[in-house]
Structure 1
Amino acid sequence: MAIQTHDELLTTIKDALQACGYVGELGGGSLQTRTPMTGEDLFAIEGTTKEQATEMIALADEAFKSWREVPAPRRGNVVKRWGQLLAEHKHDLGLLVQIEAGKSISEAEGEVQEMIDICDLALGQSRMLYGKTMPSERPGHRLMETWHPIGVVGVISAFNFPVAVYSWNTANALVCGDTVVWKPSEMCALSALGAHALLSRAIADCGEDQNISQLILGDRNVGEVLLDDPRVELVSATGSTRMGREVAPRVASRFGRYLLELGGNNAGIVTPSADLDLALRGIVFAAAGTAGQRCTTMRRLIVHESIADELVDKIVAAYKTLTIGDPRDESVLVGPLLHQGAYDDMQQALKTAKEQGGDVLVGGERVLVDDSEKSFYVQPAVVRMPEQSDIVHNETFAPILYVMTYSDFNEAIALHNAVPQGLSSAIFTENNSEAEIFLSASGSDCGIANVNIGTSGAEIGGAFGGEKETGGGRESGSDAWKAYMRRSTNTVNYSGELPLAQGVKFL
């Protein structure tokens, strides 16, 4: 889209929200929205108080009592309709994502496409909430398991994927028979209003109870209500490892469930047999795309010493061609950092890297766009590092790629696994043995392991999540739906006798 004036941007936001079905007023509230594209404030909107959040949980809890009795295929009709509305308003919601997260329109609409895809998957899942039948050791008995809804699901989502991760949880939770209370990032409240409005329309179109979906807006203080309320059976939280350390014990202290998607610090290994042109494309997108603000961003590159100089030269040359600027310009590849805090973190990380022996080959400089001091654009950085530097163990949510070398493949695996995070990983190789080792139990210790593609760009059909300090949660596809249900083991005795298991005799 063309670059707009600030007033034109505000009109675009109002039009997009109205198209999605939002009918509230903008302005005069306690929660200030902002765009990283220009650094300008947008609208002040009404936030949610803790008391209101508690009331919404109560409404969702009451709605659950009838929603759980609705046949699962009928529940699937709600997400089917939601997907249809998302497809119809893909551009409208994509604009809101672009404005608040600073993504290119291609990436922003791609995020909405993820929402559409998860609705398709969840619709099919609504007819496949399978249990098992197992052989009983007792004659005339049937042993089986069934799956039931758990109740209210609280979803806490982050700014970098303001609507997609919410939909991964919500589409699955709704078809499983749960109700949802969503607390989005306060930095992306407008996107949340649009996504929630579309779901509300879908619920109304299907004639179901509007209270099965609730939206609370505000900072971490209002989100904490979800952590402590015993009616919230599951808290699915996406954010930093620091946040996860606070969420997990609080929810566990009341014996609630939690699903965590936390820090990344993802690495790629490049072996001597790799197709370097293919590797180059995968690395640059994974490391510099979305200005390094994906949880799956490639932050470490471990390259065989025999090809390191050649590959690094190619990466540096590619970085120098990256277009940096306002993502509304369709020629731009790298948009803004979220705010000054992200910029300051990047500068501190680069300073520390230099102190630990790192050599910044390209990047790190601030790029002024339209002479604005309120927005924070940067040149993505590539840094050659000694293998054992402490800084590479920390995730900085900015476009910094640390490059290290190895001589032995086992050394590469050890370097890869040496960090506390375990989300996504990649290897570039034409050696089948290296690929299989990387995917084996003695290879990558991450929840996602890729061969000949980068660390970012996961598909809906697979379970998304990671190990170690990434939190261990799984969302989206595969059997991730089970997180939103409880398992019941059932034994039916139709024998007319009462034999006990394990041959126990009593009476």
Structure 2
Amino acid sequence: MTELLSNYVAGRWQAGSGAGTPLFDPVLGTELVRVDAGGLDLGEAFSFARETGGAALRALTYKQRAGLLGAIVKVLQAHRDTYYEIATANSGTVKNDSAVDIDGGIFTLGQYAKWGDALGDVHALRDGDAVKLGKEPLFQSQHLQVPTRGVALFINAFNFPSWGLWEKAAPALLSGVPVIVKPATATAWLTQRMVRDVVEAGVLPAGALSVVCGSSAGLMDQLQGFDVVSFTGSADTGAVIRSHAAVAQRSVRVNIEADSLNSALLLPDATAYSEAFKLLVREVVREMTVKSGQKCTAIRRILVPAALYDAAAEAIGAKLAGVTVGNPRNESVRMGSLVSKAQLNAVREGLDALKAQAAVLYDGSQARLVDADPAVAACIGPVLLGARDADAAQVVHDVEVFGPVSTLLPYRDLDHAIALAHRGQGSLVTSLYGADEAALGRAAVQLAASHGRVHVITPEVAQAHTGHGNVMPHSLHGGPGRAGGGAELAGLRALDFYHRRAAVQAAPGVLGQLGLAQA
């Protein structure tokens, strides 16, 4: 029998009581490890993290906690090769795609270590300036933020087992809040191994970091009023979390990142020979194929002037035709697999739904796989769809296919294009392509209302921009409406979620003794 991965809770490694759920290689179909959380004393786990881990973290200053993040970075870098091997086996990703997850997580930790170091040796953050409460400045009000005295529960998605942990844990630990992570079962191995390495290195206080592999049953029941929960996944599961008594009755703070029909928009003044057109085509192909399209920020809808619809279809299709799909261990393969057969079936079902109102412009779904058995591997080539009547094709604005699938949509004018982008009902990101800075600026402001991030690409930043789908710790990650209404990262703004705001009303002399850092 394959190894049963242990859970780390209440300061010790504990095996589940069941036989475990198997995790598979999505290309070879072989069983890798098993996970199980049955029989764990979750009450003990949460109490230990909340009381022991929380107290130890809060006793440290922001600068000291930043040092902990730096220590984690060194541990993860030392084991980096092992993480790549696990990602290849369990997620089916090629090396470049594994880097987005693994190196992206390490980079984010490093950034928060630097930002936290600058906060200094203090235990609370200044929130604005003191204001007088009367005619004379004898009695004033100073707002501050202090770490919440609870635990941070992370219920994460399958597509980023590394980055999904560390982009949340970095601001949480820096804030002084202990973390319990529940990784998605299908790809839990990488998360568990990273936590294991950090725990065994002894760089964190006991109870600061825990991992529960397997079922999430009972986790939400343990949450108390000062705890927080952050979820990444489907809108349906997000709705269940929002309706749980912990949130509805005990006022547990919740952050949700859910479905997102992100768009890419080419400005009306572009031509088929313009640099902006070429940049759009290149970015669309990259976003369709990186991690096999399994990114919450991937481009799902491509908005182009009606006159360029055919040219865009031809250009994108031509580039997609050069994408090799199959076993990520083969160096000739550019795109690996989906994470499981279940996800492959979901992509195929989603494609059928979109095809009811969209035509197939490029079909890589039946392409020959490299070093992979199509009867076993969860591989599918990229598929470009198109709908000449973007207004009537309602399904493409409603259904997200979480794989290498995108839909080309023509628009009449810029106002029409912006209206189509808004029909995503709230998205994580949209990207704009053009050379007219004034038009791009106006469009960016209009799109900001329904998007967490607006990524503007002009010819001058062709080599400098960070990518439509790359989530940088410096910028907001989240979106309104169907995207979940959440907010992560954005520099030190991420610490807001793990802090409580309060006002101290006192004489200036007392306020001067609060020992606050400017966030």
TM-score band by shorter chain is 0.7 to 0.9
Query: Structure 1 residues 25 and 327, CA, compared in 2 at 3 Å: closer, same or farther?
Result: farther
Query: Contact 2:362–2:385 (CA<8 Å) still a contact in 1?
Result: yes
Q: Deviations over 1:70-115 (max 9, x none)?
A: 2222222211100111222222222222322221122213322222
Contact kept in structure 2, 1:287 and 1:400, CA below 8 Å: yes
What's the Cα RMSD here? 2.7
The 1:85–1:235 alpha-carbon spacing in structure 2 relative to 1, beyond 3 Å, is same
Q: Which residue of 1 aligns with 2:421?
A: 416
**Counterpart residue number, 1:236:** 230
Counterpart in 1 of 2:165? Answer: 166
How do residues 15-164 of structure 1 correspond to structure 2 at under 5 angstroms?
29-45=19-35, 47-49=36-38, 51-63=40-52, 64-126=54-116, 127-128=118-119, 129-138=125-134, 139-150=137-148, 151-164=150-163
Indicate whether 1:247 and 2:241 are aligned.
yes
**Runs of 4+ residues deviating >6 angstroms:** 22-28
Distance in structure 1 (CA, Å) of the matches to 2:138 and 2:196: 52
Within the alignment, does 1:389 sit opposite 2:393 as a pair? Answer: yes
Q: 1:226, 1:232 within 8 Å by CA — same for their partners in 2?
A: no
Report if the CA contact (8 A) 1:86-1:115 is conserved: no
Residue in 1 that maps onto 2:311: 310
- Structure 1 231/487 Cα, relative in aligned 2: closer, same or farther at 3 Å? closer
Q: How far does the alpha carbon of each residue in 1:448-468 deviate from its partner, in whole angstroms, 9 at most, with x for none?
A: 111126531121221211111
Q: Structure 1 residue 29: deviation in Å?
A: 4.2
Corresponding position: 1:440 with 2:429 = no
Deviation at 1:25, TM superposition (A): 9.2
| CA deviation vs aligned residue, 1:258-277 (integer Å, no higher than 9, x gap) | 01111111110112325222
Equivalent residue runs for 1:251-266 within 5 Å: 251-253=246-248, 254-266=250-262
The one-character-per-residue Cα deviations of 1:96-145 (angstroms, maximum 9, x if unpaired) are: 22322221122213322222222222223334244332221332123212
Among 478, 483, 499, the residue aligned to 2:497: 483
Q: Distance in 1 between matches of 2:192 and 2:305?
A: 48
Contact kept? 1:267, 1:300, Cα under 8 Å: yes
Cα distance change on mapping 1:193 and 1:346 into 2, 3 Å: closer
Q: Distance in 1 between matches of 2:295 and 2:21?
A: 25
| More divergent stretch after superposition (371-380 vs 408-417) | 371-380
Asked whether the 8 Å contact 1:428–1:451 carries over to 2, the reply is yes
Separation in 1, partners of 2:49, 2:448: 43
TM-superposition CA deviations, 1:213-268 (whole Å, max 9, x none): 111111242xx413552266100111111111111121421210001111111110
Residue identity matched to 1:315: I
Compute the TM-score of the two structures, normalised by the length of structure 1.
0.87
Letter aligned with residue 266 of structure 1: N
Partner Cα separation in structure 1 for residue 168 and residue 509 of structure 2: 42
Amino acid at match of 1:484: Y
Q: Which residue of 1 aligns with 2:348?
A: 347
Greater Cα offset, 105-114 or 315-324: 105-114
Shift of the alpha carbon at 1:367?
Answer: 4.8
Aligned length: 474
Give the match's secondary structure for 1:377. coil
* Amino acid paired to 1:413: I
- Structure 1 position 491, deviation (Å): 1.3
**Contact 2:324–2:334 at 8 Å: present in 1 too?**
yes
Question: What's 1:493 paired with?
Answer: 507
Deviation at 1:410, TM superposition (A): 0.3
Structure 1 equivalent of residue 404 of structure 2: 399
Report whether the alignment pairs 1:186 with 2:182.
no
Contact persistence 2:360–2:383 (CA under 8 A): no
Structure 1 position 27, deviation (Å): 13
Note the C-alpha offset of 1:301. 0.5
Match of 1:483, as an amino acid?
Answer: F
CA positional deviation for 1:209: 2.5
Which residue identity lines up with residue 383 of structure 2 in the other structure?
Answer: A
Letter in 1 for 2:320: Y
Change (3 A) 1:31 1:357: closer
Structure-1 separation of matches of 2:88 and 2:220: 28
Q: Give the structure 1 partner of residue 8 of structure 2.
A: none
Structure 2 vs 1, CA of residues 38 and 26 (structure 1 numbering), >3 Å: closer, same or farther?
Answer: farther
C-alpha distance in structure 2 between counterparts of 1:34 and 1:53, whole Å: 27
Q: What are the Cα deviations for residues 451-497 of structure 1, in whole angstroms up to 9, with x where unaligned?
A: 1265311212212111111112122232111111111111112699x
| Deviation of the 1:320 alpha carbon | 0.8
- Report the secondary structure of 2:365's partner residue: coil
Residues 145 and 499 of structure 2 are in contact (CA less than 8 Å); yes or no, is this contact kept in structure 1?
Answer: yes
- Secondary structure of the residue aligned to 1:210 is coil
Secondary structure of 2:336's aligned partner: coil
Take 2:289 and 2:100, find their aligned partners in 1: how far apart are those partners? 17
Q: In the alignment, is the contact (CA less than 8 A) between 1:158 and 1:239 conserved in 2?
A: yes
- Matched position secondary structure for 2:70: helix
Give the match for residue 338 of structure 1. 339
Alignment deviations for residues 318-377 of structure 1 (CA, whole Å, 9 cap, x no partner): 111101011122322211122233222322333333332524432333655532522221
SS of aligned partner of 1:419: coil
Deviates more, 1:264-273 or 1:228-237: 228-237
1:226 to 202, 220, 228: 220
Describe the SS at the equivalent of 1:162: coil
The aligned residue for residue 425 of structure 1 is: 430
Q: Percent identity, please.
A: 20
One-letter identity of the residue aligned with 1:247: I
Q: Are residues 72 and 320 of structure 1, via their aligned partners in 2, closer, same or farther at CA, if it must alter by over 3 Å?
A: same
| CA–CA separation in structure 2 for the residues paired with 1:82 and 1:118 | 11
Which runs of no fewer than 5 residues in structure 2 stay unpaired? 6-11, 120-124, 458-464, 511-519
**One-letter code of the match for 2:470?**
G
What is the CA–CA distance in structure 2 between the aligned matches of 1:326 and 1:184, rounded to whole Å?
24
Distance 1:372 1:344, change over 3 A: closer
Where 1:437 maps in the other structure, the secondary structure is: helix
Question: In the alignment, which residue of structure 2 is the partner of 1:17?
Answer: none
Question: d(CA) in 1 for partners of 2:90 and 2:43?
Answer: 27
Quote the offset at 1:183 in angstroms: 0.5
Task: Determine the C-alpha separation between the residues in 2 that align with 1:67 and 1:495.
Answer: 28
1:209 aligns with 2:205: yes
Instruction: Give me the whole-angstrom Cα distance separating, in 1, the residues matched to 2:426 and 2:377.
Output: 30
